[in-house]
């Protein structure tokens, strides 16, 4: 079962849930962004500049977390999101490559004003 912070183990990850998590443009965008960054990059939820309210943002990151795609670690002040790169690669080989090769498709805008943070 998931740990206290709601991170499922590799075995608990389920492709249907992952697809559901990735079927939203905003979440897809977050993942496609994370996957193209250097290993172990940590980013706050805010840094993605999603065009939604704080509470909605929490909602989206929760879904990514519960699908096992990201890890959220407490950094005192804020809570950083980190791609679970190795876990995903182990459980769903090929998935990361798919995301890396397919950034947000044109027409799925409202994401263009991506914050330039790191």
Partner DNA sequence: CCTAAGGTACGATAGAAACCGTACCTCCGG
Partner DNA sequence: CCGGAGGTACGGTTTCTATCGTACCTTAGG
Residues contributing to the site for its own copies (CB under 8 A) = 14-17, 19-20, 22-23, 25, 28, 92-95, 97-99, 102, 104-105, 108
C-alpha to C-alpha distances, 26 to 1, 3, 9, 91, 108, nearest whole angstrom: 27, 25, 24, 23, 9
Give the per-residue contact string, 39-78, with DNA (x = CB under 7 A; - = no).
Answer: -----xxx----xxxxxxxxxxxxx--------x---xxx
* Residue 52 binds: one of DNA, its own copies, none (C-beta under 5 to 8 A by kind): DNA
* Residue 52 in tokens: 């939604």
* Residue 97 binds: one of its own copies, DNA, none (C-beta under 5 to 8 A by kind): its own copies
b/e map of 31-67 (b: 16 or more CB within 10 Å)?
Answer: bbbbbeeeeebbbbbebbebeeeeeebeebbebbbbb
Q: Using CA atoms, how far apart are residues 12 and 68, in angstroms rounded to an integer?
A: 8
Nearer to DNA, 80 or 90 (CB): 80
Q: Which of residues 73-112 bind DNA (CB under 7 A)?
A: 76-80
Q: Smallest gap, in angstroms, from Cβ of residue 116 to DNA?
A: 14
């Amino acid at each position: 079962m998931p740990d206290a912070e709601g991170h499922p183990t590799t075995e608990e990850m389920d492709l249907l849930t992952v697809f559901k998590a990735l079927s939203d443009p905003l979440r897809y965008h977050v993942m496609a962004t994370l996957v193209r960054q250097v290993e172990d990059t940590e980013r706050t939820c805010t840094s993605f500049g999603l065009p939604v309210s704080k509470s909605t943002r929490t909602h989206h990151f929760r879904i990514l977390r519960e699908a096992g795609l990201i890890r959220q670690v407490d950094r005192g002040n804020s809570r950083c999101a980190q791609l679970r790169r190795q876990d995903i690669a182990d459980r769903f080989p090929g998935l990361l490559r798919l995301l890396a090769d397919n950034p947000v498709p044109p027409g799925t805008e409202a994401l263009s004003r991506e914050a330039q943070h790191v």
